[in-house]
Every structure is written in structure tokens, then in C-alpha cells.
Structure 1
Amino acid sequence: MAAAAESAPAGLTLVGVGPGDPELLTVAAVRAIAAAGVVAYPISAEGAASMAAAIAAPWIGPEQRRLPLLMPVVEAAEPRRRAWREACDRLAREVEAGAAVVFLCEGDVSLYATAAYVLMALRRHHPACPVALIPGITSMAAAAARGAWPLALQREQLLITPTPDTGEDMDSLLITAARANRVLVLLKLGRRWRWLRPLLEARGLLEGALLARRVGWPDELIAPAAAVPAAELPYFSLLLLRQGRAEVLP
């Protein structure tokens, strides 16, 4: 059930709703949603469900107006630019009409986030529109916590990157990371796990790595990477990989 709150002044708040579990929304996120008259969120196609709205559903009240915004998942640049422009125009019109608006974004609003593109479009086309951002818990942070897997220790570096598309690029990434004592967070595993798992096994890097699939959702999987067969995974899957050891450990 949505938390009771007084209406907020006109403006737009970009809200990170975390990776999937409604309990992982921050207090600030829940308060912003409760105070909004309009709750906007991205959809990939007309009539499609929104993952961000599904995560925040327990905190959205029936009296709040929902505003789905089309954000097609395509490779071509122009449809994406057009969608961002149309979304920012609609959000700006709502604010100009006096509405307090939240735009829900899965995960965090600044990390590979739909909200980041909306923000850039607003700054370009509607610079006077008041915008606030509320960060959200990332899938990698939630996975590390649920798997009791420290993301970085002492002087380790941390690299967050989409999984490379080829074994050659992955080898280069592993070599560079080993030299720099760099922990890797590989996002968007998807179909790449078919070839990445045997590659890591052949290099003796599979043991100790942690794999996470759809963190926070009912079909969540947090498991040692060695226990997950080489098969296509959902798009929202990631791998945590450490090649070295910190100098001083308990």
C-alpha cells in the first residue's frame, strides 16, 4: 500500500526503484512516489508491462495517475532519440501544468539508466523544468549482499562493464584487470554465458565467481558461477569476478 503523504510542489523526480524487490526501495523513493500526483515509467511497447512500475507497485496509490512512456528497445539510434524527446516533452508538460511527477527507473537513475537519457533530453529541450534525482540500489550491490560477496577490498579497483561480445575482447579485459588488481562486474550476460563459462573454466577463473540472475524477482538466482551451466541467461544477469586477493585478510 502506498505511504500517505502531502502533495509535493510541481516538479519532476527521477526515482531509482532498485533491481526487483519492492523492499529495496529507499525511504526517499517511497516518499517521493507517495507525494506525486503523476507516476511515469518506461514501457518497451504499447500495452507492455513496465518492470519499474511492477517493482514500485506496492507504493503507488489508486488515486495517482499513471503515465506510461514508450521507450523501445532497439539498436537504431533515431527511434531512441525520438522516444527520449517525446518522453521529456510529456513530462515537462505535466510539470508546467502544476503536477508533481515521478519517473520510475529500474535500478539506479545514473547507471546504465533510462532516467539518465530522460535527464539529458530535459536539460537540452526543457532546461527550466525542475528535476531532482533519487538514487536506487543497483543489481550488483544487491547481488553482492545476497551472495555475501565483497565487491571491493582495500586497494582493489572495481570495473563495471557490459560483458564483451567476443572471447578475444574478454581475454583482453581479463589481462588488464589482473594487472590492475581489478574486480570485474560483468553486466548483461544473456547469451554470452554460453561461451564465457567455458572460457573462464579453461583459465581457472570460474571458482569463486558469483552469478546473479534477475535479482529481486521471484525467479532470482544467486549462485556460484561454477554451478550454473553454459546456457543462455536472461538479459538481466551479471557476474562478479575476482582474479587476485587483497593483501591483508582476516
Structure 2
Amino acid sequence: MAAVRAIEQADLIVAPVACEGGISMAMRIASHWIKPDQPQLSVVFPMVEAPEPRQQAWKAAADLLASEVSTGKQVVLLCEGDASLFASGSYVLLSLQQRHPSCQLRVIPGITSFSSTAAAAVWPLALQQDQLLVAPCPDSELDFERMASHAEEQGQNLALLKLGRRWRWLRPLLEQRGLLSRSLFAEKVGWPDQCIAPAEQIAAEERPYFSLLLIRQRWPDVLP
């Protein structure tokens, strides 16, 4: 409710897009609570590997937000999921603290994609002495093998984010390690066309960037 109140009371709603003229899924999700007469603005956070374009975008967004706040406006920067976990908005907040230390900030925690997935599927992320490792999906088969072996030794359940094209080689590896039947696949969580299904049902092909996998190593000895 805190996020809804912030949106309803905002003088300006700002949302990230990947390119000029792009559609903000965060804005679409929040549209249920945005009034028709509320000013809206998009800021571009380019999805590129080069550091300079991203750094310039974060600085520009921070300067823009600080300028609007300095006029007395209440400004909301939308974020999908939680603003503190793998979020572009986190970089803007860091830039604001650095470039505009007097600008008042408030971060409203959100629901992570893997938590939302677990709730929808009634899939406990961790029980009793379980450990949970949250990480982007490794870029190579060798890196995943190392991660999976360590997780098995430690009894860690895994929440792997940003599967995308990696699913093509990850699915066969899960099957080889006997983990496929203990894995839950999800993509576009919270979107109208979200998909949450046992990983066995998802073919080994490229998936959207916003896809993830939950892997359970084992169940505790004491259960209902």
C-alpha cells in the first residue's frame, strides 16, 4: 500500500525505458493507480555492456529527478520488483546520493520476482536450515557446474535470474544432474502473460530476459 499511496500523491511519475520511445512495463503495471492528469516522464536506461552510456544515463536521470524535487514536487521513480535487487533504479539512487546529497530519498521495498514465483506456485524458498542463493544465471556451462556442485555440497537452494538465452544449455545440464524435476521455471512474472511451470515442461530454447529458475536441492527431514 505504501507504493500505491506514493503513486497517488506524486506530482510526477518517472519510469525507465530501454530506448527512446520504448514502453515501460513498470509504468504499465502502475497504470492502475496513476490518474489521467498526473504528469508522466520516461528516462532511458540503455541495455548495453559499455559502462559510459549507462553511467551517463544514471547521472542524467539523477540530475533530472533532483531538479524536479527542488521545485517542491513529489517525484516517484518506478521500478519492477525490488529497488534494491539487481535494479537499474539502484544506480540512480546511488548517483543521487553522490551528486545531490541534500535530495530527500525514500525507497519503498517491492516484491522480488522469485518471491512472487514461489508464492504463486506454493514453492517454499527455504525451510528450517536451508540456505538460499540468489544470483544471475552463470554465463557458461562450466560456471554453472561449479555453482551447482557447491550448492549441492552446502545444501543451497538456488534462485537463478536472467536466464534468457542460457536456458538452451542450462536445461540439458539440469537433466544430467537430476535437478530438472526439482526446478521451477518462470518468466515475465507479474506481467499479463507470465508463465510459471515445472522446468520439465519448458523446451531448451531461448527465453525472454525476464526469466528465472528456482532449484530445490532436497527437502528437510521434518515435514508435515
From 145, 153, 174, give the equivalent of 1:200: 174
Letter in 1 for 2:98: R
Residue 62 (1) aligns with residue 20 (2): no
Match of 2:47 in 1: 73
CA distance in 2, matches of 1:69, 1:230: 35
Letter in 1 for 2:179: L
Match of 1:237 in 2: 211
Letter in 2 for 1:54: R
Measured against aligned partners, the alpha-carbon deviations of 1:147-192 in whole angstroms (never above 9, x if no partner) come to: 1110001111111000011111111001111111111001011111
CA-CA distance at 1:245 after TM superposition = 2.3
Measured against aligned partners, the alpha-carbon deviations of 1:96-144 in whole angstroms (never above 9, x if no partner) come to: 0111100001111100011111110001000000000101111101111
CA-CA distance at 1:244 after TM superposition = 2.2
Q: Give the alignment's TM-score, normalised by structure 2.
A: 0.98
Residue 179 (1) aligns with residue 148 (2): no
CA-CA distance at 1:247 after TM superposition = 2.8
Letter in 1 for 2:95: A
Letter in 1 for 2:82: D
CA-CA distance at 1:221 after TM superposition = 1.0
Match of 1:146 in 2: 120
Cα contact 1:178–1:244 (8 A) shared by 2 = no
From 88, 99, 104, give the equivalent of 1:130: 104
Residue 102 (1) aligns with residue 102 (2): no
Residue 211 (1) aligns with residue 182 (2): no
Letter in 2 for 1:216: G
Q: Give the alignment's TM-score, normalised by structure 1.
A: 0.88
SS across alignment from 1:207? helix
CA-CA distance at 1:73 after TM superposition = 0.7
CA distance in 2, matches of 1:184, 1:92: 38
Residue 39 (1) aligns with residue 13 (2): yes
Residue ranges of structure 1 left out of the alignment (5+ in a row): 1-26
Letter in 2 for 1:43: V
Letter in 2 for 1:61: K
Aligned length: 224
CA distance in 2, matches of 1:83, 1:30: 27
From 153, 156, 160, give the equivalent of 2:134: 160
Match of 1:170 in 2: 144
What does 1:79-94 align with in structure 2 at a 5 Å threshold? 79-94=53-68
SS across alignment from 1:58? coil
Of 174-183 and 214-223, deviating more is 214-223
SS across alignment from 2:14? strand
Residue ranges of structure 2 left out of the alignment (5+ in a row): none
Letter in 2 for 1:220: Q
CA distance in 1, matches of 2:65, 2:192: 32
Bigger RCO (CA 8 Å, 6+ sep): 1
Give every structure 1 segment of 4 or more consecutive aligned residues whose post-TM-superposition deviation is greater than 2 Å: none
Measured against aligned partners, the alpha-carbon deviations of 1:8-38 in whole angstroms (never above 9, x if no partner) come to: xxxxxxxxxxxxxxxxxxx110000000010
SS across alignment from 2:180? coil
RMSD, aligned α-carbons: 0.8
Match of 2:197 in 1: 223
Match of 1:112 in 2: 86
